[in-house]
């Protein structure tokens, strides 16, 4: 299937959920409120169904890392200095469009989109923006990580012209790693603690030199998969979410484990190091701070309908 066709499917709004939302808006104009709970209930039901299908996808494909990256890269374009939506970027489903998928930092993410597209087709009332964040949070939880306090109801952008410009996502090997991390994440409205906590998600996944230019072609931990073999992981059990990333980066005893300049700086910068040392020693503290930071990231730049969002809990 052509990429442009894949990316445009499911954009139209003829689903029962979209019809319900239209009726809800009409009822609000007339001063009626009785449909609001029905619309929210319908949305929550679709989201729960999508979440169950994401769980099954994770079990059959071990795609946890790339789904985490999908959600992060959709949200991580946010610029707090731009007030107008969607020019501010963020979690708005823009990453489904080919123009943004072709950004250098998004190499390989078309594979993640192909994985979740059947779920989008099945639950058409779930927006891409919600699906990307749902998949990311569910992947963390199913890998053994903390429960992420998520809300849903994100609105999608509608055209590729609304995609953010390239260059808003972090690079792996900048000349000044600490300065670069702060420049990128402060622009999103995140702080040093959140930078370090979010970096801990590298406990999942691998770097592939053909995508990022970083990492070995394969190691003893990746040569047999699961999934497509190869790449270099940050941890030995790279489908398990825990605090081993911080321990491994601090110790650097295993040449088969990856340490990027932006990883190493967490134990070199005096402010970052406070949190990195804490997380290496205390997994519960890491999980608590990670869950809060992940939820905050997932909401960046999002416009919610209903405005307070939808909880599945």
272, 247 Cβ separation under 8 angstroms = no
Peptide bond preceding 194 in cis form (omega within 30 of 0): no
Within 13 Å of residue 33, how many CA atoms lie on the same side as its CB?
Answer: 1
Q: Which of 4, 5, 73, 103 is catalytic?
A: 73
Nearest to 252 by CA among 262, 243, 263: 263
End-to-end CA distance of the chain: 36
Helix or strand holding residue 72 (H, E): helix 64-75
> Any catalytic annotation for residue 202?
no
Distance (Å, whole) CA 74 – CA 68: 10
Q: Which string of b and e fits 85-104 if b means at least 16 CB within 10 Å?
A: ebebbbbbbbbbbbebbebe
Helix or strand holding residue 207 (H, E): strand 206-207
- Chain-centroid distance of CA 191 in Å reads 18
Check the CA dihedral 71-266-180-209 and report its sign: negative
Residues annotated catalytic, as ranges? 73
């Amino acid at each position: 299937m052509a990429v442009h066709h894949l990316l445009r499917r499911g954009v139209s709004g003829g689903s029962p959920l979209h019809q319900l939302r239209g009726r809800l808006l009409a009822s609000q104009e007339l001063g009626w409120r009785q449909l609001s709970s029905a619309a929210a209930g319908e949305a929550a039901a679709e989201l729960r169904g999508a979440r169950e299908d994401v769980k099954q996808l994770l079990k059959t494909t071990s795609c946890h890392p790339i789904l985490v990256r999908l959600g992060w890269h959709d949200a991580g374009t946010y610029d707090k200095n731009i007030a107008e939506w969607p020019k501010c970027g963020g979690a708005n489903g823009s990453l489904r469009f080919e123009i943004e998928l072709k950004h250098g930092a998004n190499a390989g993410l078309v594979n993640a989109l192909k994985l979740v597209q059947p779920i989008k087709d099945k639950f058409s009332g779930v927006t891409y923006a919600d699906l990307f964040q749902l998949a990311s949070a569910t992947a963390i939880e199913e890998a053994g990580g903390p429960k992420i306090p998520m809300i849903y109801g994100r609105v999608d952008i509608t055209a590729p012209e609304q995609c953010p410009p390239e260059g808003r996502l972090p690079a792996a090997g900048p000349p000044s790693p600490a300065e670069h991390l702060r420049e990128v994440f402060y622009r999103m409205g995140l702080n040093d603690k959140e930078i370090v906590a979010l970096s801990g998600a590298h406990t999942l996944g691998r770097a592939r030199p053909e995508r990022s230019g970083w990492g070995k072609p394969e190691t003893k931990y990746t040569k047999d998969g699961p999934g497509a073999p190869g790449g270099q992981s940050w941890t030995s059990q790279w489908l398990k979410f825990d605090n081993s990333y911080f321990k491994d980066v601090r110790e650097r005893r295993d040449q088969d484990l990856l340490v990027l300049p932006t990883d190493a700086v967490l134990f070199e910068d005096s402010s970052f190091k406070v949190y990195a040392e804490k997380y290496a020693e205390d997994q519960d503290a890491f999980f608590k701070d990670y869950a809060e930071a992940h939820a905050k990231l997932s909401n960046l730049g999002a416009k919610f309908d209903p405005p307070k969002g939808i909880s599945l809990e």
